[in-house]
């Protein structure tokens, strides 16, 4: 695959590390009940249009729900928590998750054969951005394999949905199901939206055979069409250091 730019360009397009903030909001019981018909799939489509639109959707929904509440309630203030992303060179957080083949996958099993791991988190299977991202990784898979690397996706979708997604897109790599979002939190990718739920932010980690985090791509949403290409270029660069 021909690179359209250099590793310098890749670094410029992505924020490096340690400065991400995630917004989480809490709402009253009355608020949740008055807006319990939100379609999660619609919200995920909002997410694929960009995190700003996604958060605006969540905030607007919360405001609308509080407005139509049948009785005045003291609204809980939106809370903001910084979920730290593991620093470069630190050990990748361990995990044990079920993959789309129904098997348990751990960080240890992924690195047992001394391969590099491209661990990418995505909001939801079958949404437009996640589909495009998976397709691009599939197209580049032979090049990753030539460079001793494997692709592994992670989302909060259940095993069945992730398996159907892999079959539908003819993916030769598997997805992991992070049911409670605990692994997403450990990697600093968790997104929580009031009255909707918790999802994985679109972020990608390059983990070396020694289980060290060597690079983090945070602004993937703005670079989905070229993301797989960018990750491959950065992988090659890191392997020569």
Query: Is residue 176 within 8 Å of 99, Cβ to Cβ?
Result: yes
Closest CA to 211 of 94, 86, 85: 94
What are the pLDDT tens digits along the chain (241 aa)?
444 444 444 444 454 444 433 443 443 443 443 344 334 444 554 544 444 444 444 433 443 333 333 333 333 322 335 578 999 999 999 999 999 999 999 999 999 999 999 999 999 999 999 999 999 999 999 999 999 999 999 999 999 999 999 999 999 999 999 998 999 999 999 988 887 788 899 999 999 999 999 999 998 999 999 999 999 999 999 999 7
Q: What is d(CA 228, CA 97) in angstroms, rounded to the nearest whole number? A: 23
Q: Please give the model's pTM, rounded to 2 decimal places.
A: 0.70
């Amino acid at each position: 695959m021909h690179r359209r730019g250099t590793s310098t360009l890749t670094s410029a397009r992505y924020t490096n590390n340690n400065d991400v903030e995630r917004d989480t909001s809490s709402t009253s019981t009355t608020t949740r009940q008055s807006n319990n018909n939100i379609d999660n799939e619609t919200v995920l489509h909002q997410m694929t249009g960009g995190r700003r639109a996604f958060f605006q959707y969540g905030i607007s929904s919360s405001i609308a729900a509080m407005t139509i509440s049948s009785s005045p309630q003291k609204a809980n203030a939106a809370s903001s928590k910084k979920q730290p992303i593991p620093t470069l060179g630190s050990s990748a957080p361990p995990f044990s998750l079920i993959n789309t083949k129904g098997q348990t996958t751990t960080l240890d099993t992924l690195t047992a054969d001394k391969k590099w791991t491209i661990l990418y988190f995505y909001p939801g299977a079958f949404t437009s951005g996640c589909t495009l991202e998976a397709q691009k990784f599939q197209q580049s898979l032979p090049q990753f394999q030539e460079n001793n690397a494997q692709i592994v996706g992670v989302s909060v979708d259940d095993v069945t949905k992730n398996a159907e997604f892999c079959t539908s897109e003819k993916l030769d790599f598997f997805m992991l199901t992070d049911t409670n979002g605990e692994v997403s939190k450990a990697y600093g990718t968790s997104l929580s939206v009031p009255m909707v739920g918790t999802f994985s932010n679109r972020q990608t980690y390059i983990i070396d055979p020694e289980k060290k985090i060597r690079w983090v791509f945070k602004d993937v949403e703005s670079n989905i069409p070229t993301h797989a290409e960018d990750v491959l270029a950065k992988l090659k660069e890191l392997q020569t250091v």
